[in-house]
Amino acid sequence: MQQYNCYSILASVRHSLNEFSDAYVQGTDTTGRYKNDYLLDKINEAHREIYSFLSQRLPHYFMGTATLTGVNSVYTLPGDFGALVEFRNEIGRNIFPVGWTNRKLTGSTGAEREYYRNGNTLVINKNNVTTAYTLYYKKKCRNLEIGQAVAGSGAAALVMAATAKKTDDYYNGFEIENVTQEESDTITDYVASTQTATITGTPVADDWYGLVPEIPEMFMHLIQRRATMLVREEYPLSQIRNASETYQAYVDQMSALLINYSDLDADVPVEETFEDFLDD
């Protein structure tokens, strides 16, 4: 099983803050200085920061592709959609964007190689298009979460905690780990109305789960380190300030990993690149 899922990251952050117990992590003891909701916010802030930074330097890790089928010319974007790269028809030809004001007139034919954006959909500028098209896109960073499976979980179905998103398909493609059963799985579908994730395992009620970060595995341990730093920046609540050595160790680790795995220009000092990002 992965070492880095949201459950284990929360436990590591609590260890770093000298406030760890299973009861604290699972929320059965709420007497501590830090509430789990607050720490999860900092974990997700760290995840988004690192995700944004790496997506500029390791773009191939953050690309997605999906086959979309139209319903009366409307194509719904996937839950992890961030930015469009290409939209192609069934024979691989590009579909081109048009402005909202350039939509076809009522009763006119329109053009099936044109689309416009409407909320979370792409609309072909012609009626009754249902052909399967291919979308190439940059993925967005989604929230990491922990929780306990709810009654109704079972074969191929994990009913997520009440805090789960109320958006269909939001978790599609996420790797999820059943901490209780020590199993790893992938969510292939998510129905918001019942908060049910389709997986291949057989979870039971009260199993603890954690979503796995959507960054390359070699960078995952940095989420805990950065989240702890973010908590300590809100001194005096933490009662421990970040030392300059703490920041330097974080920068050094990120720099070493980027040197090994990124396509940065060799003439650009990695340390300066990362420190500039932190200063933004």
CA end-to-end span of the chain, whole Å?
36
* Same domain assignment for residues 70 and 130: yes
* Same domain assignment for residues 175 and 222: no
Structural domain range at position 181: 145-211
The answer to whether residue 267 scores a pLDDT higher than 70 is no
Cα–Cα distance, 107 to 87 (Å, whole number) = 25
Residue listed under structure tokens 């940065």 = 264
Last residue of a domain, one of 139, 166, 189: 139
3-state secondary structure the chain: CCCCCHHHHHHHHHHHCCCCCHHHHHCCCCCCCCCHHHHHHHHHHHHHHHHHHHHHHCHHHHEEEEEEECECCEEECCCCEEEEEEEECCCCCECEECCHHHCCCCCCCCEEEEEEEECCEEEEECCCCCCEEEEEEEECCCCCCEEECCCCCECCEEECCCCCCCCCCCCCCCEEEECCCCEEEECCEEECCCCEEECCCCCCCCCEEEECCCCCHHHCHHHHHHHHHHHHCCCCCCCCCCCHHHHHHHHHHHHHHHHHHCCCCCCCCHHHHHHHHHHC
Can you read off the two tokens belonging to residue 10? 């929360």
Cα–Cα distance, 104 to 127 (Å, whole number) = 10
Residue 266, pLDDT score: 46
* Same domain assignment for residues 26 and 84: no
Short-list 74, 123, 67, CA closest to 97: 123
* pLDDT digits 0-9 by tens, 46-100: 999 999 999 988 999 999 999 999 999 999 999 999 999 999 999 999 999 999 8
**One-letter amino acid of 12:** S
The answer to whether residue 277 scores a pLDDT higher than 70 is no
Residue 85, pLDDT score: 97
- Burial (CB < 10 A; 0-12, 13-18, 19+), residue 131, is middle
Residue 235, pLDDT score: 63
Residue 276, pLDDT score: 55
Last residue of a domain, one of 80, 109, 139: 139
Q: Count structural domains, the chain.
A: 3
Last residue of a domain, one of 211, 226, 249: 211
The answer to whether residue 116 scores a pLDDT higher than 60 is yes
* Same domain assignment for residues 241 and 256: yes
* pLDDT digits 0-9 by tens, 165-207: 999 999 999 999 999 999 999 999 999 999 999 999 999 999 9
* pLDDT digits 0-9 by tens, 17-49: 999 999 999 999 999 999 999 999 999 999 999
Contact 173, 183 (CB under 8 A): no
Q: What angle do CA 66, 143, 221 make, to 5 degrees?
A: 105
Average pLDDT rounded to a whole number, residues 233-241: 67
pTM (two decimals): 0.88
Residue listed under structure tokens 């961030």 = 82
